Structure 1
Amino acid sequence: MFVATLAIAFLLGDMAPPFQVPVAHAQEIKERRSIIDFFFGGRKKRKQDVTDTKPRKKKPRNRNSVQSVTTADAPGTVEKLPDARKVIVVGDFMASALADGLVTAFATDPNIVIEKKTDGSSGLARTDHLDWPATLSTYIEEIKPKVVVVMLGANDRQQIAIAGTKEKFQSDAWKNEYQKRIDKLLEVARSRQVPIIWTGLPSFQSNSLSTDAAALNNIYRSRVEMTGATFIDIWDGFADEDGKFIATGSDINGQPVRLRGSDGLSLTRAGKRKMAFYLEKSIRSLADVATMPAIALPGTTDTPAEAVKAAPDIADIKVVPPVNLADPELDGSTALLDDALIPKSSGNSPRDRLIEKGETVDAPVGRVDDFAIRPATPPKVEPAG
């Protein structure tokens, strides 16, 4: 009777169960039984463990913030000299890839420091997001760079607001305003006597985007070269012989590698390094840095002072004795070019005869390609002595 009463009370909810079921065992994943389970038995039920761990909150990432990275942050970088030349890289997300390649390129050079000041969403079409002329002016005043590297245009395939109206991409009004903004950015560096290198855009997987990039490169080249700045075209390094996009090509060592990402926009590590390869020589030249560091030859440090003093100073040589061209006496001849030493010929080389007249030159007698048929020469018979 007591057991029956207890069971009825439990079912009606008036009493709590006399035992507690663990939470992990209480929350079982219920799976639907299939016909295979009906004939061959049920499968073991999977149990879901319940933990009290709280999910970690991810910090929001500001994609529009300007990235600031220096060459000193790269792994394997040598210590930079106190008077190392600073190079600023500004622009959009393509400029960010270029800066990464330059950081790798000059990681072992103590004379050059790369300052990465890029904004992936920036451009010249919209000044409400970021005004590059004003921003570049601030960077030049703070960092005092020797060279400024610019790469823009990947985000500029959009309308431009002019006096309250929006002009379509590549319209006449759009081009005129865009050229003015390029000139304004170039004027910031020119007024402060800082050389600027403008890098052109590479090809892209999208045909329309590549076409627009090529049109923008023509605008950049004309405006940059007009002001005397340096424009570097990298298109051929990321395109085939027809000028079309390639995802795989040769790296700076000539080895086939993947240069572009699967999205057709981004660049791989090898692609970034190849893009920087086009700028290395110009950066060293404008930054007044030797292409290769000076290498001390063996024994040069032990050269006697008397030998150094005895060496002629080329800067002091102003007059040299004349050279008699009629009798140089360099090869035993009595003239500059002895006519007797010139081989007599018709004046037409075998190449000229083959291309101009279609004639082939007879092979020398006895050579493997000498197929001429000649009469047999009877052997000489020595008279009996």
Structure 2
Amino acid sequence: MAKPFTPLRLVILFGLIILTNSILWLDSLDNYFNNRDHIQVSNFIPNWLFSPSQQLHLQKKLIPFSTSDSKPQKHIAEESPIPIIQFSQTTGSVPKVLFAGDSLMQGVAPIAIAELKKIYPNGKFVDLSQQSTGLTVRRYFDWPKKIAEESLRQGFNTVVIFLGANDPWDIYDNKARYIFPSDEWQDAYRQRVNEVLVFAQAHQIHIIWVGLPNMDVERVKNGAILQNSIFASETKKYDFEFISTESILGSLDEPFKKYLQDSQKGAILIRGNDGIHFTPYGYRLVSNQIVQSFKERF
């Protein structure tokens, strides 16, 4: 005869259920706190505890990528290794472009792609931008790896990058911690930028790196000043292109402006209420700069 469930046994049972679910979803929990509070649970919990949740999500999480032709979409595992392929690719008259970045790029890429398709109907344009990503945290999304992976797989000759608003926080690299905005943080961040640039140079892929705009959030604004300096100096070393947004959106050392003064239309709202993102008009201003760059190159 089965023993009746006493209150103590019920508590233990529910505790085991909660513990099991927590372990199975530990990776997601870590990601949630990282995106919301920039706290990495993985810095306080042994790495082996993440194995069950990582295996569970690796089986479920397949990332689709779009192509410009009519073939069915393929899927690749997010954690698949970068294939070791050696090839030399020259930039021809037809652009094959990867758009990489965070939520800022999510607003810019669709507008830029729509315009570029009109100019280059035979071109290939793929938007892989994803919100809450950047270069500081890459446990869940590693942009240098993703750019290399997709460039080799899809034959891109140009990569447009617009990211960084999620990055002005401490960098954790194994057991090392680089405090923002220390010199050590800047060196570590520069190294991650260079991971992209070194790969691109080796495979003759042109990089267009879009600088961060003026911000109304002090920490992000201060980060943008440092990050833009790194983006500009490093792209110059490799003879790549850096597009500054300050000429149209205001210098980073000036007060934040939500409106753009137009001689005919008057004050035009270009920035969102959060002081980071844009209105559709603002996104188009950035997109126009990217499109102009392609007109000059192709």
Higher relative contact order (CA closer than 8 Å, sequence separation 6+): 2
Q: Relative to total residues, which structure has the larger helix share, 1 or 2?
A: 2
Aligned-pair identity (%): 26
Retained in 2: the 8 A contact 1:90–1:151? Answer: yes
Q: RMSD over aligned Cα, in angstroms?
A: 3.0
The correspondence of residues 177-326 of structure 1 with structure 2, limited to 5 A, is 177-239=188-250, 243-249=254-260, 256-286=267-297, 288=298
User: TM-score, with normalisation over the residues of structure 1?
Assistant: 0.51
1:121 to 111, 132, 147: 132
CA displacement 1:121-179 (0-9 Å, x = unmatched): 11111121211121111111222123110112111111112340212112121111111
- Residues of 2 paired with 1:107 and 1:264: CA distance? 31
Retained in 2: the 8 A contact 1:91–1:119? Answer: yes
Q: Which sections of structure 2, spanning at least 5 residues, go unmatched?
A: 1-30, 36-60, 71-92
Map of 1:54 onto structure 2: none
Whether 1:139 aligns to 2:150 is: yes
Retained in 1: the 8 A contact 2:197–2:207? Answer: yes
- Residues of 2 paired with 1:240 and 1:89: CA distance? 25
2:105 to 63, 71, 95: 95
> Would the alpha carbon gap of residues 181 and 272 (structure 1) be closer, same or farther in structure 2, given more than 3 Å must change?
same
Retained in 1: the 8 A contact 2:235–2:241? Answer: yes
Q: How many residues align?
A: 216
- Residues of 2 paired with 1:260 and 1:69: CA distance? 29
CA displacement 1:62-109 (0-9 Å, x = unmatched): 999978567899xxxxxxxxx952211101111222212312432422
Q: Which sections of structure 1, spanning at least 5 residues, go unmatched?
A: 1-61, 74-82, 289-385
The correspondence of residues 363-374 of structure 1 with structure 2, limited to 5 A, is none
Retained in 2: the 8 A contact 1:199–1:233? Answer: yes
Whether 1:149 aligns to 2:160 is: yes
Other structure's SS at 2:128 match:
strand
User: TM-score, with normalisation over the residues of structure 2?
Assistant: 0.64
Retained in 2: the 8 A contact 1:148–1:195? Answer: yes
Larger Rg: 1
Structure 1 position 282, deviation (Å): 1.7
Other structure's SS at 2:160 match:
strand
Q: Relative to total residues, which structure has the larger strand share, 1 or 2?
A: 2
Retained in 2: the 8 A contact 1:104–1:273? Answer: no
- Residues of 1 paired with 2:193 and 2:242: CA distance? 13
AA aligned to 1:86 is: K
> Would the alpha carbon gap of residues 148 and 107 (structure 1) be closer, same or farther in structure 2, given more than 3 Å must change?
same
- Residues of 1 paired with 2:149 and 2:261: CA distance? 38
- Residues of 2 paired with 1:68 and 1:101: CA distance? 18
AA aligned to 1:214 is: I
Retained in 1: the 8 A contact 2:213–2:252? Answer: no
- Residues of 2 paired with 1:265 and 1:161: CA distance? 24
Structure 1 position 229, deviation (Å): 0.9
CA displacement 1:14-46 (0-9 Å, x = unmatched): xxxxxxxxxxxxxxxxxxxxxxxxxxxxxxxxx
- Residues of 1 paired with 2:201 and 2:98: CA distance? 15
Retained in 2: the 8 A contact 1:67–1:118? Answer: no
